[in-house]
Amino acid sequence: MENFLLKNIENPDSADIEEYLKIGGYKNIAKAFELEPKAIIEEVKKAGLRGRGGAGFPTAMKWSFAAADPKFPKYLLCNADEGEPGTFKDRPILEKNPHLLIEGMVISGYALGAEYGYIYLRGEYPHAKDVLNKAISQAYEKNYLGDNILGKSIKFHLAVHQGAGAYICGEETALIESLEGKRGQPRTRPPFPVNVGAWAMPTVVNNVETLCNIPYIISIGSEAYSQIGSKDCPGPKLYCVSGCVEKPGVYELPMGTSLKDIIFNHAGGIKGGKKLKAVIPGGISTPVLPESMIDCPMDFSSMPKHGSMLGSGAVIVMDESVCMVKVTYRALKFFEHESCGKCTPCREGTEWLRKSLGRIERGEGREGDIELLQEISENIMGKTFCPLGDGAAGVVLGMLKHFKGEFEEKIKAKGSRV
């Protein structure tokens, strides 16, 4: 499969509008403007596009809710928070292919009736901020953004909003709070952002990669697009592989490529010829899989059947030398730090989990600690305001399911396993 999302990124000037135009960039805007907005939503629906931000929500459905709301103005927000540990799949687009994102946003805005867009960019990507701002001003100059795009009286304005280091702001309602200048704490739903979102107006939040698939659908048509990858969630997918592999990096592959294939064929296998032990397949919030379970298609519907989730497509590979207790402890340190404090099960639960895990990790584990971890996790799962808490609990439960022995061993031995 030829790359679309990562097309031309080996070109050192790929972020420049002239280079993008040379490879046929921005042509899909004109093509999309030939269609009625409704027809574009229909195309995206037929294409079967599902959101790449982690939840796999059908994009056309989200759009149609916002489009049907009579309130104006509507807003299109691009989620470029990319905070899920292990995830760096949007970074090559943001740093090297910004015009693809802009093109996707202009078409999406037209389809759902939004004339204003913001890219919510994580504070940890300062280089991407400069690239995006430059690309946006180039797009204004060439009339791909503004009040009268391509002379068609179609309006779309775009700006970058920089986050400031808070994982929770990747959650779409917290993202909206943060865009409004507040602490990033999730909102109660309903009402959903598609009806009451940014500044109380209909708002669509889509991931970077999702929006970059729109020009592709327009370009090759929904029929051809729907033939790529998995049947019920087609299209190209960016998988980012890190940890103990020979060739870490971002790989654009058909959705549903097997985890084994991603690790061994694309990412070059395990570093230094060591033995694979476990994989976190979709970012730190997704349950771990032991080596014996990696023969599974990486898509939204298959992964839950294999006991995990596609998440952000962030594959973290761990070889035989990696201690699972340590990984779990580090993950929980993260969740405790990032818990926004709004709801009790997450705020307190992540702290208790971190403390109990820390004790085991330091060799001070007590009998009953495993049951305690289990119980705290179960008391978080499904009881929190947003999925951050579920993620934390799922990590611990997944680790206990597959690597309980390692925890027991460490409690008994009262020391590190290394």
Partner 1 sequence: MLSETVLKEIEEIKAKYPSARSALLPALYVAQREFGWQSEKAMQAVAQALNLPEAEVRGTATFYSMYKHKPMGRHLIQLCTNVSCMILGAERLVDFLKNRYGLTQNGTTADGRFSLVIMECIGGCDMAPAMLLNTDFYGDLTEEKIGEILGGYK
Ligand X SMILES: Cc1cc2nc3c(=O)[nH]c(=O)nc-3n(C[C@H](O)[C@H](O)[C@H](O)COP(=O)(O)O)c2cc1C
Residues near ligand X (CB under 6 A) are 51-55, 57, 59, 79, 81-84, 168, 170-172, 205-207, 210, 386-388
Q: Is residue 325 within 8 Å of residue 400, measured between CB atoms? A: no
Give least dist CB 354 to partner 1, A: 13
Q: How far apart are CA 267 and CA 252, in angstroms?
A: 12
Residues that bind partner 1 (CB under 8 A): 73, 82-88, 91, 122-127, 159, 161-167, 178-184, 199, 240-244, 248-250, 280, 284, 314, 316, 318, 322, 326-327, 330-331, 334, 337-338, 340
Instruction: Work out what residue 251 binds among ligand X, partner 1, none; the CB cut-off runs from 5 to 8 Å by kind.
Output: none
Q: Which is nearer to ligand X, 37 or 51 (CB)?
A: 51
Distance CA 101, CA 84 (A): 20
Q: Is residue 276 within a helix (H) or strand (E), and if so which, with residue range?
A: strand 276-280
Q: How far is the CB of 187 from partner 1 (least distance, A)?
A: 15
86 binds, among partner 1, ligand X, none (CB under 5 to 8 A by kind): partner 1
170 binds, among partner 1, ligand X, none (CB under 5 to 8 A by kind): ligand X
DSSP 194-225: TTS-GGGS-EEEEEHHHHHHHHHHHHHHHHHH
Is residue 340 within 8 A of residue 186, CB to CB? The reply is yes
| Residue number with CB closer to partner 1 (20 or 88) | 88
- The site partner of 207 among ligand X, partner 1, none (C-beta below 5 to 8 Å per kind) is ligand X
- Least separation in angstroms between CB 178 and partner 1: 7
210 binds, among partner 1, ligand X, none (CB under 5 to 8 A by kind): ligand X
Q: Residue 213 or 222: which CB sits closer to ligand X?
A: 213
Q: Are 94 and 131 in contact (CB under 8 A)?
A: yes
How far is 32 from 190, CA to CA, in rounded Å?
32
Q: Which one of partner 1, ligand X, none is in contact with 85 (Cβ closer than 5 to 8 A by kind)?
A: partner 1
Q: Which amino acid is at 418?
A: V
If the CB atoms of residues 86 and 365 are measured against ligand X, the closer one turns out to be 86
Please report which helix (H) or strand (E) contains residue 289, including its range: strand 289-290
Smallest gap, in angstroms, from Cβ of residue 87 to ligand X?
A: 7
Q: Smaller CB distance to ligand X: residue 154 or 205?
A: 205
**Choice between 58 and 290, CB closer to partner 1:** 290
Q: Shortest Cβ distance from residue 128 to ligand X (Å)? A: 13
Contacts of 38-41 with CB under 8 Å at 24 or more apart are 38/67, 40/107, 40/110, 40/111, 40/218, 41/67, 41/111, 41/112
Q: Which does 74 bind (CB under 5 to 8 A by kind): partner 1, ligand X, none?
A: none
Neighbours of 225 (CB within 10 A): 24
| Tokens describing residue 268 | 């070059």
Q: Which residue's CB is nearer to partner 1, number 242 or number 384?
A: 242
| Nearest-approach distance from CB 18 to partner 1, in angstroms | 25
Q: Which does 199 bind (CB under 5 to 8 A by kind): ligand X, partner 1, none?
A: partner 1
How many CB atoms within 10 Å of residue 247? 11
Contact yes or no for 59/210 (Cβ under 8 A): yes
Contact 376, 352 (CB under 8 A): yes
Long-range contacts, 192-197 (Cβ 8 Å, 24+): 192/65, 194/62, 194/65, 194/66, 194/69, 195/65, 195/66, 195/69, 195/71, 197/75, 197/77
Element housing 147 (H / E): strand 146-149
**167 vs 352, beta carbon nearer ligand X:** 167
CB of 249 to partner 1, least distance (A): 5
Concatenate the DSSP letters of all residues of 71-135 into one string: -SSEEEEEEE---STT--SSHHHHHH-HHHHHHHHHHHHHHHTEEEEEEEE-TT-HHHHHHHHHH
C-beta atoms surrounding 77 within 10 Å: 24
Residue 24 touches which of ligand X, partner 1, none (CB < 5 to 8 A by kind)?
none
Element holding 252 (H helix, E strand): strand 249-254
Find which of ligand X, partner 1, none residue 52 binds, CB within 5 to 8 Å per kind.
ligand X
**Cβ 404 to ligand X shortest distance, Å:** 26
Shortest distance (Å) from residue 58 CB to ligand X: 8
Minimum Å gap between C-beta 180 and partner 1 is: 5
Measured from the CB atom, the residue of 163 and 243 that comes closer to ligand X is 163
325 vs 346, beta carbon nearer ligand X? 346
